[in-house]
Structure 1
């Protein structure tokens, strides 16, 4: 399976006990497509998560004030009031994780939304495996914060989804890119097998997809790593990848 967008399905999900959520977490789901909202809500219901539905930007702004959600999921093509405007309003009042749902025709909305404070991006329509990531964001908003991850002159902040290299902001990475970089940094100087990356990030065991190669290439581009002679994310031929902490 590659990284193309798929609709939410009723495939088996991790047991609720696998997550240490706070009591009655609230997810605000803003999406103009009722079918998409219902599909994701069915997944979140397995974890006893309360979902607030919003069909447009105006409803989202009203519900944010009323419900104070633990995490927000905004469609990039939010109507009436666009996602970037909603984000700026939310960021002026709340420090809450906001995930941007990006469809195949939403490229123009992504930049403004990230600049306005989106925490991460996920593919839309949503896949069932993204549910776990939403829950992890909710857990962090309840106080289970991860510390700043530092590898030489490369830093990754799990709370803000910011990555900096030699003090310069790399930018807000797509969700899978962030997860991949996090895995490599946690295991800095160690060789991480492709099978492990695929299993932990995509939950797959097949060996034919080039998804990992594509994401590694994107990470190198963002970090300014020479694709022909990379110094930060090195390829161990036939095995996997190793992150070498960059120096100043």
Structure 2
């Protein structure tokens, strides 16, 4: 397997040193940036398997970098780092298109596990399988191009949104609990109900004509969610 290339963006030298040391020991190649503007320049010149992005930085902050990436069609997985543990701050990061959110201080073992999971998931879906397209109702998931379409129009999903939507497309009409989505889609044991709710809302905003009265991604009261196509 090729060496995973990580872009680490944080204005705290101590954090960069700790993260770089941990990831280098895992055989990963780490490129550092001390601010958001430097990160954006690096993203124009290189491709990375993952971006680790601090939220609070002077001049150009993490959210601005994330928004610029997604606006440019860059769906590289992004892990946000923040000293804030406030729930709404996490929801904001996920809403901008982050794939994961880690609160400082963190244990390096948790960081490494999350990094590997994000890269593995991205690689699996970028490689695709024997079936390069999944078609259900008005939707098409192209596993080679890593894009989702509705009636031929791109839905502009983030990597994590695509992961969840593809899973549901592979199991139409089947109801999944939040716990099942976490373990089967994201391979995470600790279930955050709020995170699942955020992603369902974001997907609905992109696929439904009226997100408040969903026709496709439905809530099964007391159980979970299902895709009806």
TM-score tier, shorter chain, comes to: 0.5 to 0.7
Q: Distance in 2 between matches of 1:132 and 1:44?
A: 16
Tell whether the 8 Å contact from 1:225 to 1:232 is kept in structure 2 after alignment: no
Report how many aligned residue pairs link the two structures: 190
Q: Distance in 1 between matches of 2:199 and 2:51?
A: 19
Tell whether the 8 Å contact from 2:23 to 2:30 is kept in structure 1 after alignment: no
Q: How far off its partner does 1:108 sit?
A: 2.7
Using a 3 Å threshold, how does the CA distance of structure 1 residues 209 and 31 change in structure 2: closer, same or farther?
A: same
Tell whether the 8 Å contact from 1:148 to 1:158 is kept in structure 2 after alignment: yes
Tell whether the 8 Å contact from 1:233 to 1:242 is kept in structure 2 after alignment: yes
Q: Which structure features the higher share of helix residues?
A: 2
Q: Distance in 1 between matches of 2:209 and 2:179?
A: 23
Using a 3 Å threshold, how does the CA distance of structure 1 residues 51 and 184 change in structure 2: closer, same or farther?
A: same
Q: Distance in 2 between matches of 1:187 and 1:220?
A: 17
Q: Distance in 2 between matches of 1:160 and 1:150?
A: 14
Q: TM-score, with normalisation over the residues of structure 2?
A: 0.65
From 168, 171, 176, the counterpart of 2:153: 168
Tell whether the 8 Å contact from 2:208 to 2:215 is kept in structure 1 after alignment: no
Aligned counterparts, 1:1-248, within 5 A: 22=1, 24-32=2-10, 33-34=12-13, 35-36=15-16, 38-39=18-19, 42-43=22-23, 45-46=25-26, 49-55=27-33, 77-79=35-37, 81-83=38-40, 85-90=41-46, 98-104=49-55, 105-125=61-81, 127=111, 128-138=113-123, 144-146=127-129, 147-173=132-158, 175-200=159-184, 201=186, 203-204=188-189, 209-245=193-229
Q: How far off its partner does 1:168 sit?
A: 1.4
Q: How far off its partner does 1:145 sit?
A: 3.5
Q: Distance in 2 between matches of 1:215 and 1:186?
A: 18
Q: Distance in 2 between matches of 1:114 and 1:197?
A: 24
Using a 3 Å threshold, how does the CA distance of structure 1 residues 101 and 171 change in structure 2: closer, same or farther?
A: farther
Q: How far off its partner does 1:140 sit?
A: 6.8
Q: How far off its partner does 1:44 sit?
A: 6.6
Q: Distance in 2 between matches of 1:197 and 1:134?
A: 18
| Bigger relative contact order (CA 8 A; separation at least 6) | 1
Q: TM-score, with normalisation over the residues of structure 1?
A: 0.61
Cα-to-partner distance string for 1:42-71 (whole Å, 9 max, x where unaligned): 25744xx33143336xxxxxxxxxxxxxxx
The unaligned stretches of length 5 or more in structure 2 are 56-60, 82-101, 103-110
